[in-house]
């Protein structure tokens, strides 16, 4: 550091000496007639330039002294080292054709050696290793799981979360330590994808998910829609009410908008991570995503028939909902060429125009009529709820997931949940003059 300072001082001295000699030469040189004014102006300009350069050198010298002092204090243990500046995300690329999109799949893994089931299906169904690189981020340091991931060699990129320590939590949250570690891992892994690898978007799955044959086709086709419609903030492969008897098996191509964040295989853009990362929660990240402050009235795309299914009964949630709902979710088993379909109907204005018209044109029925399988001549019907309690009662009676997050029902859009009951389409819907979600409903 002292050497740098000396060099700058010598440079400044030589600069001043040179300009002084130049000025002396110009002043003492005989001046032809008519050139006096021009030379005077030239001398003034040189003097001003010399003064500007001198100030710049002095400023540089002050910075060197300041950083030299800081370095000395840091080495003496008086000043903690500064964190490196956070790299900015890459600028959005120009619009591309779906076939040219690079969409990495980020697999969050921990201590399940059954991650092999997840990876086998991903590698079997992906159409291109270049367009769909698989990145496995492993937390927990579980040796057997690490060996399974390593066995795939160059077919996947294996990252290891560097921080395996317990997360400091409030005493009343000790039993939720796992949720804190998951949130920490998500933050680190997504940071790697967007800030280190600098990808434009990513599909996130966990190690207990199995994917459908058209999993990659689905996300490749919906990616341009996510770019174009800013009222969308994710695309999900999951239908929360996608049990086999509650979906139309003949409409594997059918997609919806939903105000509920489904997760369980979801696509996000780098811009969304730029927005969420600074306020990422310490725990319970998925329910945090469902809060109005994060959702900001944006929606996700979700399928009629799920493109993922979970086989992970054991986990930090201790099998919550698994035996009652999750293990019955139907995984799509046939390929739908989504990239050849027109998905513009999912854009907000067009979707609301036809979807709301269809819902509120459907004849209204009572829950007893549905349960009794009456009025069979009606292929599409509407069951109207008036408040939180009636929604939960109807949902429970018909086998839907009845929990609400910040007032939003699972798979719901504008409060409407679409499903199949005993072979016919049912819309569980609020009144037509619905004004918005009540976050106190839970």
The catalytic residues are 286
Query: CA–CA separation, 202 vs 266, rounded Å?
Result: 8
Among positive and negative, which fits the CA dihedral 332, 338, 339, 344? negative
| Angle, helices 115-125/215-228, rounded to nearest 10 degrees | 80
**331: β partners:** 306
CB 277 within 8 A of CB 191: yes
Helix, strand, coil % (nearest 5) of the chain?
45, 15, 40
- The residues with which 427 forms a beta bridge, in sequence order, are 382, 418
In angstroms, rounded to a whole number, what is the distance separating the alpha carbons of residues 361 and 353? 12
Nearest to 399 by CA among 426, 378, 434: 426
263: helix, coil or strand?
Answer: coil
Kind of pairing between the strands at 308-310 and 209-211? antiparallel
Record the tokens describing residue 138, joined without a space: 């492993």
| Residue-by-residue DSSP string for 307-355 | SEEE---SSTTTTTTTTTTGGGBPBP-S---GGGS--GGGSHHHHHHHH
Backbone angles phi, psi at 94, to 5 degrees: -65, 155
């Amino acid at each position: 550091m002292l050497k740098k300072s000396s060099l700058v001082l010598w440079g400044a001295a030589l600069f001043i000496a040179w300009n002084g000699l130049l000025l002396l030469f110009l002043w003492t040189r005989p001046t032809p007639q008519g050139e006096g004014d021009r030379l005077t102006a030239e001398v003034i300009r040189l003097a001003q330039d010399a003064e500007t350069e001198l100030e710049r050198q002095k400023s540089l010298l002050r910075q060197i002294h300041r950083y030299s002092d800081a370095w000395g204090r840091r080495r003496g243990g008086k000043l903690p080292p500064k964190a490196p500046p956070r790299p900015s995300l890459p600028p959005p690329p120009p619009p591309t054709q779906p076939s040219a999109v690079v969409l990495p799949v980020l697999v969050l893994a921990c201590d399940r050696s059954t991650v092999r089931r997840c990876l086998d299906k991903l590698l079997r169904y992906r159409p291109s290793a270049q367009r769909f690189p698989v990145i496995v981020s492993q937390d927990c340091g579980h040796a057997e799981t690490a060996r399974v991931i390593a066995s795939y060699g160059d077919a996947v990129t294996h990252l290891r979360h560097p921080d395996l320590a317990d997360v400091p939590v409030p005493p009343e949250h000790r039993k939720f330590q796992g949720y804190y570690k998951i949130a920490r891992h998500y933050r680190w892994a997504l940071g790697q994808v967007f800030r280190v690898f600098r990808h434009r978007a990513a599909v996130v799955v966990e190690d207990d998910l199995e994917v459908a044959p058209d999993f990659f086709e689905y996300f490749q086709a919906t990616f341009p829609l996510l770019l174009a419609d800013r009222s969308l903030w994710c695309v999900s492969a999951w239908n929360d009410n996608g049990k086999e008897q509650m979906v139309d098996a003949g409409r594997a191509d059918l997609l919806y908008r939903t105000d509920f964040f489904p997760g369980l295989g979801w696509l996000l853009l780098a811009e969304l991570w730029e927005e969420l990362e600074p306020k990422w929660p310490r725990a319970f990240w998925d329910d945090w995503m469902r809060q109005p402050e994060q959702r900001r009235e944006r929606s996700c795309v979700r399928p009629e028939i799920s493109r993922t299914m979970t086989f992970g009964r054991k986990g930090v949630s201790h099998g919550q909902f698994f035996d009652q709902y999750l293990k019955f979710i139907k995984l799509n088993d046939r390929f739908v060429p989504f990239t050849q379909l027109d998905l513009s109907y999912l854009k907000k204005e067009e979707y609301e125009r036809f979807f709301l018209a269809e819902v509120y044109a459907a004849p209204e029925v009572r829950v007893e009529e549905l349960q009794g399988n009456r009025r069979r001549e009606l292929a599409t019907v509407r069951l109207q709820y008036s408040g939180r309690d009636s929604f939960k009662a109807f949902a429970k009676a018909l086998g839907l997931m009845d929990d609400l997050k910040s007032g939003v029902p699972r798979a719901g859009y504008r409060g409407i949940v679409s499903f199949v009951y005993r072979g016919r389409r049912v819309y569980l819907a609020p009144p037509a003059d619905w004004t918005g979600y009540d976050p106190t409903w839970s």
